[in-house]
């Protein structure tokens, strides 16, 4: 997927269309103060995985030997747009799936 290095987008802070530079979001590591803040049981409950009725894909599965999981060849890429006027950056609402991404000329991972 090819993208331009900069585009014109609406900036919520400047409240007008300004020039934005395009980059991709990197995977963030866990912080030292909250190392399990995203993998907690309370978070799972909040997602609705541990209560209610129904199978939720947990019990009626085939035996693990009889199926093989396909590995995905694409990744989900979150784009970040940084405003040139105020320096604020904002991401896109929904990540795109793409194997390779080119911003301007350089290939970003
Ligand atoms: Zn701005």
Give the pLDDT score at 48: 66
pTM over 0.95: no
Res 44 pLDDT > 70: no
Most confident of 86-90, 95-99, 100-104: 86-90
State the distance from the centre of ligand 1 to the C-alpha of 84, rounded, in angstroms.
Answer: 6
Q: How far apart are CA 21 and CA 77, in angstroms?
A: 16
Q: Are strands 101-103 and 2-3 parallel, antiparallel or unpaired?
A: parallel
pLDDT tens digits for 4-35? 888 999 999 999 999 999 988 887 777 777 77
List Cβ neighbours of 30 (8 Å cut-off, separation of 6 or more): 36, 37, 38
State the distance from the centre of ligand 1 to the C-alpha of 89, rounded, in angstroms.
Answer: 8
Give the pLDDT score at 40: 66
Place of tokens 């269309």: 17
State the distance from the centre of ligand 1 to the C-alpha of 21, rounded, in angstroms.
Answer: 11
């Amino acid at each position: 997927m090819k993208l331009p290095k900069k585009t014109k987008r609406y900036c919520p802070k400047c409240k007008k269309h300004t020039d934005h530079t395009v980059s991709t979001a990197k995977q963030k590591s866990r912080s030292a103060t909250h190392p399990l803040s995203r993998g907690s049981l309370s978070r799972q409950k909040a997602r609705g995985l541990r209560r209610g009725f129904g199978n939720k894909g947990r019990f009626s599965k085939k035996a693990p030997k009889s199926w093989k999981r396909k590995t995905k060849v694409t990744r989900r890429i979150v784009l970040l747009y940084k405003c040139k006027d105020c320096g604020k950056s904002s991401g896109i609402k929904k990540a795109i799936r793409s194997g390779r991404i080119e911003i301007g000329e350089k290939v970003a991972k």
